[in-house]
A = this chain, B = another copy of it.
Amino acid sequence: MSKKVAGPEIERLTQLLARVPGLGPRSARKATLALLKRRKELLEPLSAAMADAAARVIDCPTCGNLDTVSPCTLCQDPRRDQSLIVVVEEVGDMWALERAGAANALYHVLGGHLSPLDGVGPDRLNIGKLIERADSAQVKEVLLALNATVEGQSTAHYLSEQLKSTGVVVSRIAQGVPMGGELDYLDDGTLAAAIKSRRRV
């Protein structure tokens, strides 16, 4: 859309929408049109919800979760197992585990993984606070729920070294055949991990 076609407000909205992950330049234009067609029903509520979130959402100073209260809802929940901290790379990973109801424990968001080539060293991740939390008397175990990627695994290795001094049990989530997975379609690494971590039935 050239500047001539419509006002700069519409152009600016399209450009900003194109920066939202999941939307490219083409789908941003489609989204702009759809929003402008439904100004009362969609554009206005969405704009208000964004302003609300921008004004109220904060990073939890304890675990790194995104929430409107500090500490966050999860950190404040007394029904959670206070002796277990589940470490994840991103907030989205934490939400995935919560949706699955996989862990009723505390969390810690690193904010990424170690990646020396991209200049992400230990100081760029939320590691100091994790050591501090792991040092407290009530924490007995730190479960590293990092991605099963090279970066995730080397970050896990680094963390387990760092956590040795705290005396907590350090564990990792299991690797193996995913639910519903057919052996024939799985990669060699997954199959090897599944054999290596076999359990007696």
Chain A residues in contact with chain B, CB under 8 A?
A: 1-2, 4-7, 9-10, 12-13, 16-17, 19-23, 27-31, 33-37, 39, 42-54, 56-57, 65-69, 72-74, 77, 90-92, 94-95, 98-99
- Identify A68's interface contact among B7, B39, B47, CB under 8 A: B7
Write the nearest CB–CB distance from A35 to chain B, whole angstroms.
7
Would A53 and B9 count as touching, CB distance under 8 A?
yes
- Identify A50's interface contact among B34, B46, B52, CB under 8 A: B46
Write the nearest CB–CB distance from A22 to chain B, whole angstroms.
4
- Identify A52's interface contact among B9, B17, B69, B95, CB under 8 A: B9
Would B1 and A98 count as touching, CB distance under 8 A?
yes
Would A46 and B16 count as touching, CB distance under 8 A?
yes
**Additional A-B contact list (4), CB under 8 Å, known A22-B31, A51-B51:** A5-B74, A16-B42, A19-B42, A36-B66
Would A6 and B47 count as touching, CB distance under 8 A?
no
Cα A36 to Cα B67 in complex, Å, equals 10
Q: Which 3 A-B pairs have the closest CB atoms?
A: A47-B50, A22-B27, A7-B68
- Identify A39's interface contact among B46, B48, B54, CB under 8 A: B54
In the complex, the chain B residue whose C-beta lies closest to that of A20 is B31
- Given the known A-B contacts A6-B72, A53-B9, A95-B5, are A16 and B29 also in contact in the complex, defined by CB atoms under 8 Å? no
In the complex, the chain B residue whose C-beta lies closest to that of A32 is B53
- Identify A13's interface contact among B17, B27, B30, B49, CB under 8 A: B49
- Given the known A-B contacts A20-B42, A74-B5, A99-B1, are A12 and B54 also in contact in the complex, defined by CB atoms under 8 Å? no
- Identify A21's interface contact among B30, B66, B74, B98, CB under 8 A: B30
| 18 pairs, CB–CB < 8 Å, chain A vs chain B | A1-B95, A2-B99, A4-B98, A5-B94, A6-B67, A7-B68, A9-B49, A9-B53, A9-B56, A10-B67, A12-B52, A17-B46, A20-B31, A36-B66, A39-B53, A39-B54, A43-B53, A47-B50
